[in-house]
């Protein structure tokens, strides 16, 4: 078998070239013309230094001298095409002699796309490294030791990066939370726990206790399982929540004491006033006393009504209250997301309607798409349009519980309350609340 080596070299996908001691090209294969945009006639006799990018000329000159002295060499340089574009090549050179003269034999491949991809990767790595390093949120990678921590981890913990990278990560965790955090870390490294968000305490270098919320995820880092996590310092939020809890507890206690003392005082007053039932002033005083007692009961109900929302039968509450007031009702079976404050809303709307519409009051409960609807209508004189805009505002006075409070309760339940005219006369209050699932 006869091999046509010249044809093989001419048609090789790698660039092949030969130049003399001065750098003049004596031979180029076909792909070199494709690389450079020059024809073979233009390249033969041309100095190879005319092709290289200016900043890389010295590098190739040193390499050429080394090769001509008998060494082999790899290189990476830029060259300029005929149309002025700058591209990259990787190459290999070795010396050889012919007819008593020294030459350089070179092979090269164009790696411009690879270099551009490499540059984009470097830029991307630098971008994300800077983004993470300078992030306000702590970010870390951990296995049995910290592998990486950003600047925010240093700021939150008080430890330097070197200190963190040399310490047991669980050493940073509060002793009471250490078992829980360690168990989750071990399970996540084994792939037994999915990504989640949870909170725990840490002890800083200056022995302060801080709360953090973390979101850890299992990754493979340099061939081994690790956990990467972002964190938030929620210490101030936790302290605020604890402060609010204590204030709420204190206010509840004060509220109970006041209710108890006022109720006891009113009981004595009511007993005393009942001896003067024929006296008009005493009757009015008794009505006011009864109203204050009712306010105390309402405040107790409101206090219990701050519980979490749960499915409650709106129709049952409406039916019960309608029957207690002796007014008509028409109720579909409707469950809404609410709490005990819903009863206060319905009772006060009916009470308000009875006082203005006498006995001509009607309750309706029905479903409408994703909402439960309560309508309380009367046939009274109605509410002027200029008043409608004010009745839900704080400070709008009535002789009963203000509609401002009723609206606030509806808002807290995630609902909406509206008022509009009834025909031919009167008023309609409509409350809509989210249906229970």
Name the pLDDT band for 424 (thresholds 50, 70, 90).
confident
Residue 183 has pLDDT above 60, yes or no: yes
Rounded mean pLDDT, 331-347: 90
- pLDDT at residue 104, rounded to an integer: 95
One domain for residues 316 and 426: yes
- pLDDT at residue 38, rounded to an integer: 95
Residue 1 has pLDDT above 50, yes or no: no
Residue 177 has pLDDT above 80, yes or no: yes
* Per-residue pLDDT reduced to its tens digit, 39-77: 999 999 999 999 999 999 999 999 999 999 999 999 999
- Is residue 226 within 8 Å of residue 143, measured between CB atoms? yes
Number of structural domains found in the chain: 4
Name the pLDDT band for 425 (thresholds 50, 70, 90).
confident
- Is residue 19 within 8 Å of residue 104, measured between CB atoms? yes
One domain for residues 14 and 72: yes
For residue 126, being part of any structural domain is answered with: no
| Residue of higher predicted confidence among 258 and 92 | 92
One domain for residues 194 and 212: yes
Domain CATH code at residue 182: 3.30.450.20
Residue 120 phi/psi, 5-degree rounding, is -65, -40
One domain for residues 263 and 183: no
One domain for residues 417 and 318: yes
One domain for residues 430 and 316: yes
Rounded mean pLDDT, 158-187: 96
One domain for residues 318 and 394: yes
3-class state of residue 406 by DSSP: helix
Rounded mean pLDDT, 4-29: 90
Q: 433 vs 110, 310, 339, 436, CA distance in Å?
A: 69, 12, 12, 9
Quote the domain boundaries for residue 173.
134-233
Name the pLDDT band for 85 (thresholds 50, 70, 90).
very high
Q: Which of 113-122, 161-170, 332-341 has the highest mean pLDDT?
A: 161-170
For residue 167, being part of any structural domain is answered with: yes
One domain for residues 176 and 154: yes
Helix (H) or strand (E) holding 26: strand 25-28
Helix (H) or strand (E) holding 188: helix 175-189
One domain for residues 216 and 169: yes
For residue 120, being part of any structural domain is answered with: no
Rounded mean pLDDT, 93-113: 93
Name the pLDDT band for 79 (thresholds 50, 70, 90).
very high
Residue 128 has pLDDT above 50, yes or no: yes
pLDDT > 70: percent of the chain:
85
* Per-residue pLDDT reduced to its tens digit, 354-383: 887 666 899 999 998 889 999 999 888 888
Half-sphere exposure of 285 (CA within 13 A, CB side): 17
Residue 205 has pLDDT above 70, yes or no: yes
pLDDT > 90: percent of the chain:
58
Domain CATH code at residue 338: 3.30.565.10
For residue 407, being part of any structural domain is answered with: yes
Rounded mean pLDDT, 230-251: 87
For residue 116, being part of any structural domain is answered with: no
Residue 268 has pLDDT above 80, yes or no: no
For residue 121, being part of any structural domain is answered with: no
Residue 90 phi/psi, 5-degree rounding, is -105, 140
- pLDDT at residue 73, rounded to an integer: 93
For residue 387, being part of any structural domain is answered with: yes
One domain for residues 358 and 333: yes
| Residue of higher predicted confidence among 277 and 157 | 157
Closest CA to 157 of 208, 200, 226: 208
Determine which of 72-81, 246-255, 335-344 has the lowest per-residue pLDDT on average.
Answer: 246-255
- pLDDT at residue 234, rounded to an integer: 94
* Per-residue pLDDT reduced to its tens digit, 269-317: 767 666 666 666 666 666 666 666 666 666 666 666 556 789 999 999 9
One domain for residues 79 and 191: no
Residue 422 has pLDDT above 60, yes or no: yes
**Mean of all residue pLDDT scores within the chain:** 87
Residue 152 has pLDDT above 90, yes or no: yes
- Is residue 48 within 8 Å of residue 17, measured between CB atoms? yes
Domain-ending residue, one of 253, 274, 304: 304
- pLDDT at residue 296, rounded to an integer: 67
């Amino acid at each position: 078998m006869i091999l046509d080596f010249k044809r093989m070299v001419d048609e090789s996908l790698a660039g092949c070239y030969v130049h003399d001691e001065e750098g003049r090209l004596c031979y180029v294969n076909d792909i070199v013309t494709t690389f450079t945009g020059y024809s073979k006639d233009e390249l033969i006799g041309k100095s190879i230094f005319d092709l290289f990018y200016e900043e890389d000329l010295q590098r190739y000159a040193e390499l050429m001298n080394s090769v001509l002295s008998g060494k082999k060499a790899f290189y990476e340089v830029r060259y300029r095409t005929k149309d002025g574009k700058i591209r990259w090549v990787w190459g290999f050179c070795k010396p050889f002699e012919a007819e008593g003269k020294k030459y350089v034999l070179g092979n090269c491949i164009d790696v411009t796309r690879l270099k551009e991809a490499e540059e984009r990767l470097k830029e991307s790595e630098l971008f994300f490294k800077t983004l993470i390093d300078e992030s306000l949120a702590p970010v870390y990678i951990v296995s049995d030791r910290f592998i990486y921590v950003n600047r925010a981890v240093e700021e939150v913990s008080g430890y330097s990066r070197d200190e963190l990278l040399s310490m047991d990560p669980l050493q940073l965790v509060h002793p009471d939370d250490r078992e829980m955090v360690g168990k989750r870390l071990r399970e996540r490294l084994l792939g037994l726990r999915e990504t989640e968000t949870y909170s725990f305490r840490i002890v800083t270098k200056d022995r302060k206790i801080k709360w953090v919320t973390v979101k850890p995820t299992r990754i493979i880092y340099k061939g081994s399982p690790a956990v990467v996590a972002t964190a938030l310092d929620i210490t101030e939020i936790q302290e605020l929540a604890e402060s609010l809890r204590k204030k709420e507890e204190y206010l509840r206690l004060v509220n109970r004491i006041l209710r108890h003392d006022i109720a006891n005082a009113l009981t004595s007053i009511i007993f005393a006033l009942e001896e003067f039932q024929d006296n008009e002033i005493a009757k009015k005083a008794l009505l006011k006393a009864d109203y204050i007692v009712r306010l105390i009961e309402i405040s107790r109900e409101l206090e219990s009504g701050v519980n979490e929302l749960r499915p409650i039968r709106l129709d049952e509450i409406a039916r019960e209250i309608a029957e207690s007031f002796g007014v008509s009702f028409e109720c579909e079976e409707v469950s809404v997301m609410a709490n005990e404050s819903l009863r206060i809303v319905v009772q006060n709307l009916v009470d308000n309607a009875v006082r203005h519409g006498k006995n001509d009051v009607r309750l309706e409960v029905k479903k409408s798409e994703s909402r439960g609807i309560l309508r309380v209508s009367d046939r009274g004189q109605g509410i002027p349009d200029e008043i409608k805009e004010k009745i839900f505002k704080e400070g709008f006075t009535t002789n009963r519980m203000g509609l401002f409070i009723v609206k606030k309760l509806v808002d807290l339940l995630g609902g909406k309350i509206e008022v509009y005219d009834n025909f031919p006369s009167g008023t309609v209050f409509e409350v809509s609340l989210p249906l229970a699932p």
